[in-house]
Amino acid sequence: MNPETEQEALIPEVTPQELAGWLQQRSDLLLLDVREPYEVPRARLTDQRVLFAPLSDLARKHLDGLPEPVRRDRSAVLVVFCHHGIRSAQVVRWLRELGWTAVYNLAGGIDAYARQIDPQIGTY
């Protein structure tokens, strides 16, 4: 296995289509938006399970930057997203290294979700 493939294997992903299904079927699902505050109004996934933890806060505060429901349960099913999936992939890797067991990156980020599933979310 080459190093790039090895790194990708550490970052499990869900596709926008899979997330749409999970949102319908899984009441235990949490979503973690790691975009910066100025980005959120540009494209917003409106679901009461969305929690916010900007990557800049996580960089400064580490685990204290995580919302309490995420800190409390390292086995909770958690989908992390950002604009295109790059920052969220970093957060997924970090959380998995720290012991979270069911954390996934949204492939393509909120942009892919808006384009493929729900255009009302908006893109930027």
- Residue 118 gets the label, from left (phi > 0), alpha (psi -120 to 50) or beta, of beta
The 10s digit of each residue's pLDDT in 79-92 is 999 999 999 999 99
The answer to whether residue 6 scores a pLDDT higher than 50 is no
Among 31, 19, 12, smallest CA distance to 76 is for: 31
Question: Region 48-53: what's the mean pLDDT?
Answer: 97
Q: What is the mean pLDDT of the chain?
A: 93
The answer to whether residue 5 scores a pLDDT higher than 50 is no
CATH number of 3-121: 3.40.250.10
Q: How far is CA 60 from the centre of its chain?
A: 19
Beta bridge partners of 13: 105
Contacts of 97 (CB under 8 A, 6+ apart): none
